[in-house]
Structure 1
Amino acid sequence: MTQVYQYSLKRDTGPADAAIVLGAAVYGERPSPVFRERINHAIDLYHDGSVQYLIFTGGVGNRDEIAEAEAARNYALRMGVPDEAILIETVSTTTAENLIQAKRLVDEHQLGRVLVVSDPLHMKRAVSLARDVGLDAYPSPTPTTRYRSWRSQWSFLLRETYFYAKYTLGI
């Protein structure tokens, strides 16, 4: 548990070729508040010159109208990111799948160093998975989170500790 928490405090702001934004829920055609935090952080990285590309990941969830990556792309376009700076994959439904599909895009576009963008407590597992699929990946957690209360943070920490333990044990 302490590994997951301590890793959540690490951040790397670039420079990198791309930021990989891990998918999250979409409401209708709009990113959920959690997903919007991730997208906004990636947009900031793009606008300040830390990354050249944004890679949005995520397929269509159970109740989603469009793929998570498409919702993120539409949002980023409205926020002034040019279409040519956006890459998407629309088939993944898990963190591991997000990163496998992102790796395909990284290879296809001959990109190198990437920043993984997600919630702070998701970083340990996400960056570990990214490196396992062969990405030159570094953490760039959102500076703000929708998990603000101690109760919601504790719940997310327990969840991520469980999933990280499963990952490290190969379960």
Structure 2
Amino acid sequence: MIVLYVLCLMLVFFMIIYFIICSNFKKAAYNNRQKRDVIIVLGYPAKKDGGMSPILRERISKAAKLYHEGIAGIIICTGGAVANNYVEADVMAQALIELGVSDCSIIRERLAKSTYENLVNSKKIMQNKGLKTAVIVSSPWHLRKASSYAYRLEIDHSVEKSKIPHEYMVGVGLIYLYMYTQMFINLLRYHRDKQKS
């Protein structure tokens, strides 16, 4: 019986965090086949051997699908070498080429070490190339965070979620819990720092 109470309390806690996150972190609408100037694929670490992790595989698969559907003719692959020596943008670009995307349609942003840097650097690329609108591709649990940053950076965007990798079906609830708890902690820090200044 105690286990049931603990589970209920955890569920209530998660629902409260989810409500706070949804009201403070705005997410754009799904793209719904609208034409955009560019597809921004957010990076995720490659495997230790340089191969594609399941999460990265699904993001790339979605970006390639959007490209082949004619949603946008340019793809920004954004991500540096974060968890190992493999640059995420290069791993993603190679995978896109293998999926039939033209190399000249791919822009590699190799410096970003976080979601925020992914979008800051992508915005600079967009400005330099005269690109006005974007569709941001990431994992379902990551889109709200990415989209809220894009709003802060005033990027005209929509979002598209990649599939959940079949390897992670069991742990997806934990991934959501981790991401939303992290966003909640960042929100608390933001308000604390705002009160200090």
Relative to the length of structure 1, the TM-score reads 0.87
Cα pair 2:45 2:83 within 8 Å, conserved: no
The secondary structure found in structure 2 opposite 1:114 is strand
The secondary structure found in structure 2 opposite 1:159 is helix
Structure 2 counterpart of 1:100, one-letter code = V
Cα pair 2:45 2:81 within 8 Å, conserved: no
Structure richer in helix, relative to its length:
2
1:37 and 2:54 are equivalent in the alignment: no
RMSD over equivalenced CA pairs, Å: 2.0
Structure 1 counterpart of 2:62, one-letter code = H
1:157 is matched with which residue?
A: 176
1:74 is matched with which residue?
A: 94
1:125 and 2:125 are equivalent in the alignment: no
Give the percent of matched residue pairs that are identical in Structure 1 and Structure 2: 27
Deviations, residues 25-63 of structure 1 (Å, cap 9, x unaligned): 112222211001001100000001011111101001232
Cα pair 1:92 1:101 within 8 Å, conserved: yes
Cα pair 1:14 1:115 within 8 Å, conserved: no
Gaps of 5+ in 2: 1-17
1:137 is matched with which residue?
A: 157
Structure 2 counterpart of 1:38, one-letter code = R
1:55 and 2:76 are equivalent in the alignment: yes
Q: Which has the higher contact order (CA 8 A, sep 6+)?
A: 1
Query: Please, which moves more after superposition, 155-164 or 17-26?
Result: 155-164
Distance between the aligned counterparts of 2:151 and 2:182, measured in 1? 17
Structure 1 counterpart of 2:30, one-letter code = R
Cα pair 1:22 1:58 within 8 Å, conserved: yes
Distance between the aligned counterparts of 2:52 and 2:118, measured in 1? 16
Structure 1 counterpart of 2:117, one-letter code = E
Distance between the aligned counterparts of 2:123 and 2:185, measured in 1? 22
Between the two proteins, the alignment pairs up a number of residues equal to: 165
Cα pair 1:31 1:68 within 8 Å, conserved: no
Structure 1 counterpart of 2:132, one-letter code = G
Greater Cα radius of gyration, structure 1 or 2: 2
